Structure 1
Amino acid sequence: MTEKHVEIGITVKINAEAIQYSRTMEMYEFESGISQVVQELGNKVLMTGLKGLDEEFRQCVPAGWRNMGTEERNILSSVGWIHYRRHIYLYEQDRRRKPLNELLEVERYGRDSQRV
């Protein structure tokens, strides 16, 4: 059997941001390669989506909340480890809120999403 390559090219658009993914693999590794493609693409799509959601939260914060900047967070998701930055806000007597963590249902000091 001759060695053949399979080329995969995928473009995913999240809001206004396009994610392009391409990979070439040997035919004999097609099944395991597809699994890896799904994992890698899912990871990129999730991180891009979280970045967009955090930006949307930032634009509609209630008037009394103060933006205290961002912090990095690493969690295990259903598509592997993701690394993202999320905004932190102070409200009512300096109580902290992290809307993106609340959306993901990540517990305080937790390292995995509730969907794992």
Structure 2
Amino acid sequence: MKRYPGGSIRSPEWLAIRKAILDRAGNRCEGTPNRPECRAVNGEAHPETGSKVVLTIAHMDQDETHNDPANLRALCQRCHNAWDRPHRAINASITRHRKQGQNDLFATGGAA
């Protein structure tokens, strides 16, 4: 399954989507529902951390195949990391369980 249009974050298709989202955002962080006030400017010092802002494009529903502009936001590193944190924690937990050889008691699709 291709995660990004064109199969890569460097494809012309994804770069066009990225540019459209950054243009819509005015090259500023669009914030998240938890931090709607963030408007950090791409390439400048973050007003809270002082680190250089690098805007990335976030999939708000965490589905990297859902590339509708309504699902995408330009986010600074701080907002993007905070938004993705719960999703990453779940994925890390699943990975730990798999590495330990633990299976889900209620897993479907296989014979018991």
Q: TM-score, normalised by structure 1?
A: 0.24
**Which structure features the higher share of strand residues?**
1
Q: Which has the larger radius of gyration?
A: 1
State the structure with bigger RCO (CA 8 A, min sep 6), 1 or 2: 2
